Amino acid sequence: MQLDIGKPILDKNDRLAEENRELLDAHGIFMLNILASPGSGKTSTILATIEALRSKYSFAVIEGDLASKVDSEKIKAAGIPCVQINTGGICHLESNMIANALKAFDLDSIDILLVENVGNLVCTTDFYLGENARAVILSVPEGHDKPVKYPIIFQEADAVVLNKVDVIDYFDFNEREFRASLSQINPAAPIFPISATKGTGIKAWTGWLDSIVIETRG
């Protein structure tokens, strides 16, 4: 007999995630779960995304980190409602954390909720939060082989953002190999090369996000 000790935890998480989804649907909120390594540019991508779409949508952000409130302060400085979740030693966000964070928002004033998950390419993918979609951010300095080394998170992605392309000439990053490996792992996921701090590629990325928000709302 073999027991999967993770199954009860994930089952409970998924039940709570469905409750999150029902609550968000009731308020017409689209939630995007953003997954990436530390230092990939998650917060700068979020800020660039909001800037590009804030004339059309109202945003809120949930920031997940092991510690500190550095990123949430950046979001709040941009005038966006934000809740910081510090997980301590937990390497991912869970649906009960999201449920508690939602209580702090005026849900009727939000169109898009962006969740910056804890920087991690492994366990974040196991925990459904109630999101409509997942985006994975990979930065050029991390290397083109990450989809091969961490296939599951890329398999689960609805879109992949390749950030920091403005410095691609300074790193040993083979974009052709990156795209080839990703096409084997998840051929349906679109790839958006961007520089979040320079603005490169943001229009294509936010155009995709806008389209799936519209599609989800019917």
Q: What span, in angstroms and rounded, lies between the C-alpha atoms of 61 and 199?
A: 20
Averaged pLDDT for residues 67-94: 91
**pLDDT class for 90, splitting at 50, 70, 90?**
confident
- The pLDDT, as a whole number, for residue 217 is 84
Averaged pLDDT for residues 139-163: 97
What are the structure tokens assigned to 73, written together? 């302060």
**pLDDT class for 92, splitting at 50, 70, 90?**
very high
- The pLDDT, as a whole number, for residue 66 is 84
**pLDDT class for 87, splitting at 50, 70, 90?**
confident
At the second CATH level, the architecture of 6-209 is 3-Layer(aba) Sandwich (3.40)
What are the structure tokens assigned to 48, written together? 């660039």
Report whether 80 contacts 61 (CB < 8 A).
yes
Domain ranges for the chain, please list them. Answer: 6-209
Element of type H or E holding 51: helix 42-53
- The pLDDT, as a whole number, for residue 7 is 65
